[in-house]
Copies of this chain bind each other. A is one copy, B any other.
Amino acid sequence: MMAVPSSRTPLVAMVGGGQLARMTQQAAIALGQTLRVLAASADEPAAQVTPDVVIGSHTDLEDLRRVAAGAAALTFDHEHVPTDLLEKLVSEGVNVAPPPQALVHAQDKLVMRRRLEALGAPVPRYTGLDSLADLDNADEFVRRLGASNDAPLVVKAARGGYDGRGVRMARDLADAREIAGDYLASGVPVLVEERVEVRRELSALVARSPFGQGAAWPVVETVQRDGICVLVIAPAPQLPEELGSAAQQLALRLAAELGVVGVLAVELFETDAGGLLVNELAMRPHNSGHWTMDGARTSQFEQHLRAVLDYPLGDTDAIAPVTVMANLLGAAQPPVMSVDERLHHLFARMPDARVHLYGKAERPGRKIGHINFVGSDMANLMKLRERAELAAHWLSHGQWTDGWDPHG
């Protein structure tokens, strides 16, 4: 029998079964690819929607080998795989993307900060504490920060934090030393930094392929509440063109310097003085890029797949003047209505809402989905933003904050 060529394209392995892997599956379907995920259990968001699932742990070398077997690339839905395991996989011939020497900068805030400083990238003033011994050198501590003893500080665990966890505000130097001591005592290095006066937070999302091609989406504004991103506005409103361009260039340069393969999110502070400071890095599709699913020519999920497989990258243009993304966060009190009923009411009121649900249990504060609203005019941004917040609050809490009564 003559072999008939198949329009199936390569197998990509992704470590992690969360919502990022779930949405990557949508992109893999379009490109004819097979996505295999390593999930902790069969009811994780991606495992629900992908036939090729390896149930296992991202800290177990054998499980990592199983998911990587036969894959054209191994990539990530989170940054928690120990670097030594990844280096072992690389030595066995696995195409790890991004490679461990790049990924470490998304795993360890202190490694990242030191590298960025060495590269001349703008970062907040900081000092790094690798061990309890460093804590005793108070003079150096103060000198590096350029701060007085009673200036407020930010203390960050170098590893393991996300969504505001592992980040604590300190009243003054003494308070910071105490908090840092707690982290250091549990073996986690610490980064202490100045509390920057911030106008707003931005995110510069780019992708880079092994060939070296880079592509940048428009820079967005991310709106945080209690350390969690609740809203993204694409593009960032009234961002001076040169500042937007500087942010894109910086992100593309960092992607190249660090050897990133795939999507890189550079979370930035826009300072009161109108400058930029790099806050965090992520080397995977990122919450600040969810707007691209409905608002850009190429979504970050397709782009990530294209990058790790070294395809030429897709067009990053926005398809509309403005897109607003709102995260759905699990309510403190579970709503009485099922999500299904809430969805009915939402669709009845807002036929243009683009809903993305992750199939997760609705625990308090947990990201259970997001909604995109694509707008035809930046002048209507306030209205669009209001609608996005209203829709997200409704889906999360089962209450319209503007007094609608679904059963009225």
Q: A residues bordering B, Cβ < 8 Å?
A: 4-10, 22-23, 25-26, 28-32, 34, 47-51, 53, 297-298, 306, 311-315, 317, 319-320, 328, 334-335, 338-340, 343-344, 347-348, 351-352, 354-363, 368-369, 374
A31-B343, A344-B312 given; A7·B357 CB < 8 A: yes
Interface contact A359-B6, CB-CB below 8 Å: yes
Q: List 15 A-B contacts (CB under 8 A).
A: A5-B335, A5-B362, A8-B339, A8-B359, A10-B340, A32-B359, A32-B369, A48-B51, A49-B51, A51-B51, A297-B352, A313-B347, A314-B347, A319-B319, A319-B374
16 new A-B contacts at CB < 8 Å, known A7-B339, A297-B354, A319-B320 = A6-B361, A7-B358, A8-B339, A25-B49, A26-B29, A31-B343, A31-B357, A32-B339, A34-B48, A47-B51, A49-B50, A297-B352, A312-B348, A313-B351, A315-B352, A319-B319
Please give me the residue from chain B that is nearest to A34 by CB atom. Answer: B48
Give Cα distance in the complex from A369 to B320, angstroms: 26
Q: Which B residues touch A356, using CB under 8 A?
A: 30
Interface contact A7-B369, CB-CB below 8 Å: yes
A5-B339, A315-B351 given; A357·B25 CB < 8 A: no
Majority secondary structure of chain A interface residues (helix, strand, loop or mixed): loop
Give Cα distance in the complex from A10 to B10, angstroms: 31
Q: Smallest Cβ distance from A251 to chain B, in angstroms?
A: 19
Q: Which B residues touch A352, using CB under 8 A?
A: 297, 314-315, 317
From B351, B357, B361, give the contact of A314 (CB < 8 A).
B351
Q: Which B residues touch A30, using CB under 8 A?
A: 26, 354-357
From B6, B26, B311, B312, give the contact of A26 (CB < 8 A).
B26
From B4, B339, B351, B361, give the contact of A334 (CB < 8 A).
B4
Q: Smallest Cβ distance from A13 to chain B, in angstroms?
A: 16
Interface contact B7-A347, CB-CB below 8 Å: no
Q: Smallest Cβ distance from A265 to chain B, in angstroms?
A: 21
Please give me the residue from chain B that is nearest to A337 by CB atom. Answer: B5
Give Cα distance in the complex from A108 to B335, angstroms: 47
Q: Smallest Cβ distance from A407 to chain B, in angstroms?
A: 16
Give Cα distance in the complex from A67 to B329, angstroms: 33
Please give me the residue from chain B that is nearest to A23 by CB atom. Answer: B29
Interface contact A359-B315, CB-CB below 8 Å: no
A339-B32, A355-B30 given; A312·B7 CB < 8 A: no
